[in-house]
Amino acid sequence: MQETLEASFVPDPLFLADDLGRGAHPVFSPAVRPATMAGMRWGIMAVDARGGEGLAQAARGALTAMAFSLPFSIALAQAAAGTALALWLADSIRRGSTSAARSPFLLPVALFSVVAVVSAFEGFLPSVSVPKLHRLLWYLLAFAIPDLAGRAGGDRIGFVRRLALAFVVGGCVAALLHIVHLAGTLTRIPAGMSPQFWLYAQGSMRSPQFHMTAALLLLAGAGEGWLGLRPAAAAAALALNAGGLVVHFKRGVWGAAAGAAALLGLTGARLRWRTVVFGLAVASLLACLPQVRQRVIDAPRDFFSGGGRWQLWTQATPKLMKLAPWGLGYGAMQNADLRHLVCPLEPKISHLHNNALQILVELGWPGLAAWAAWMTVLLAVTARTLRRLRRARGHGLALARGLLAAIGGLLLNGLVEYNFGAGAILMLFALLMGMVVALRDAADAGDVVQTEGPTT
């Protein structure tokens, strides 16, 4: 009886507290519309108070709010992002100029978006694909962030640091919310279900990726005074985000975080021995949890079992490619498409647990080529920015290290998870891309100081 319950269990969204505001369509949900209108009114007030420059200032404030709320509330993050994009557009029209045309991501993002739009209308299920095209709007964040960072004499590196710090604090809020959620939900375990399975079922795919990103940015920020946090506050933030990374019990992101931490070390991140000891102590403590050890032990069995990743990659993917050589359509894959190809399959699974394969099956070879070019440009620009800041030994070097590690971690996790489809992770990718270009522009403009700040 217990095995039957666990095999067919689909978590009720009411039990999942990793994302405040989830439920309705993310663009038109009741939580987004009033918040967006309030943000626009705030922007208008800023313009009235400070003249035309108030638009850029208000947009930067909205972007900071987005970075803060993204780890724990997609509704608030989308409202803040929508406000920021509207204010950025208004300010660009007022100024008559924008730096978006000079972005290294313009061509790959445009190519990917064109393929996505064509596939949505020409694919198998336009009724499913077309409503998801709103996600493409969040790519504009990658152009708005660097553009706004340099307006009105703005401090580009200071703005990027504020975004990183806001994201770290938001990750702490998300971790605390999930801990509170677990404390409550473990008191109402359904009859016939094991406590351990119920605990695993509360995990989210998205949230641990936010915690991984926050922890990497924070560790990299040790070279610049922990992003402005006091050492005690930084230690608490690191512990909270490390805990949040673990207690969702997603093994793929654990491996991705380990690989990203190694990449951070290879970039030359400067950490004192006490920071390393503290980090190892926290990691060891979390690794001692029986549930963590059990998840690691079960990994090979789950990978090769029926309906697991191996079957999805080696059986479902070739059959779907034969059925639709040019792709099913943007975001068109559903559980029914996979259920008759691999068995048994969880009712909630509607993806292939791999970015490249998912994009190949939905968008065909043109979509995969555009996405691969996009990610190659992203890694190249980030690495080049890191190299330039390292030569200048200026502020922003630690941030560039953290961004490269975070992007690497997300791409590593994309080898065993489809993390390029959820709107929240797309916004995270766009946020990181915008921060990278802002740092690059700071290096081009010579906005660096010949010191890295204290290490901790």
Domain ranges across the chain: 104-307+342-445
Percentage above 90 pLDDT, the chain? 56
- pLDDT at position 14 over 50: no
Q: What is the mean pLDDT of residues 393-417?
A: 92
pTM for this entry = 0.87
Segment 367-393, tens digit of pLDDT = 999 999 999 999 999 999 999 998 876
How far from chain centre, in Å, is Cα 416? 15
- Residues 6 or more apart whose CB falls under 8 angstroms from that of 56 comprise 87, 88, 91, 148, 151, 152, 154
Percent of the chain as helix, strand, coil, to the nearest 5? 75, 0, 25
- Residues 6 or more apart whose CB falls under 8 angstroms from that of 242 comprise 211, 215, 279, 282, 283, 286
Segment 314-326, tens digit of pLDDT = 999 999 999 999 9
DSSP 8-state assignment for residue 26: T
Specify the long-range contacts of residues 420-425, CB closer than 8 Å, at least 24 apart: 420/355, 420/358, 420/359, 420/371, 421/331, 421/351, 421/358, 422/205, 422/206, 423/26, 423/74, 423/78, 423/135, 423/138, 424/19, 424/70, 424/74, 424/77, 424/206, 424/210, 425/206, 425/209
- For 348, 354, 386, the CA distances from 328, given in Å and listed in that order, are 19, 16, 38
pLDDT band at 352 (very low <50, low <70, confident <90, very high): very high
- pLDDT at position 262 over 70: yes
What is the reported pLDDT for 445? 81
3-class secondary structure, 328: coil
Q: What is the C-alpha separation between 435 and 433, in angstroms, rounded?
A: 5
What is the reported pLDDT for 224? 72
What is the reported pLDDT for 82? 96
Is the sign of the CA dihedral 216, 218, 221, 223 positive or negative?
Answer: negative
What is the reported pLDDT for 47? 54
Q: What is the C-alpha separation between 114 and 117, in angstroms, rounded?
A: 5
**Single-letter amino acid code for the residue at 320:** L
- pLDDT at position 172 over 50: yes
DSSP notation for 353-392: S-HHHHHHHHHHHHHHHHHHHHHHHHHHHHHHHHHHHHHH
Both tokens of 395, joined, read 């502020």
Both tokens of 306, joined, read 């029926």
Q: What is the C-alpha separation between 239 and 226, in angstroms, rounded?
A: 14
Segment 48-101, tens digit of pLDDT = 455 567 899 999 999 999 999 999 999 999 999 999 999 999 999 998 888 899
- Within a 10 A sphere around the Cβ of 284, how many other Cβ atoms? 9
Residue carrying structure tokens 């336009």: 126
Segment 300-312, tens digit of pLDDT = 888 888 888 999 9
Both tokens of 6, joined, read 């666990």
Q: 159: buried, middle or exposed (CB in 10 Å: 19+, 13-18, 0-12)?
A: buried
pLDDT band at 42 (very low <50, low <70, confident <90, very high): low
The average confidence (pLDDT) of the chain is 85
DSSP notation for 254-282: HHHHHHHHHHHHHTT----HHHHHHHHHH
pLDDT band at 231 (very low <50, low <70, confident <90, very high): confident
Q: What is the C-alpha separation between 359 and 379, in angstroms, rounded?
A: 19
3-class secondary structure, 7: helix
Which of 208, 201, 276, 196 lies closest to 242, judged by CA? 208
What is the reported pLDDT for 24? 36
Q: Is residue 80 within 8 Å of residue 183, measured between CB atoms?
A: no
pLDDT band at 429 (very low <50, low <70, confident <90, very high): very high
Higher pLDDT, 266 or 197: 266
Rank 114-118, 179-183, 240-244 by mean pLDDT and report only the highest: 114-118
- Residues 6 or more apart whose CB falls under 8 angstroms from that of 88 comprise 56, 59, 144, 147, 148
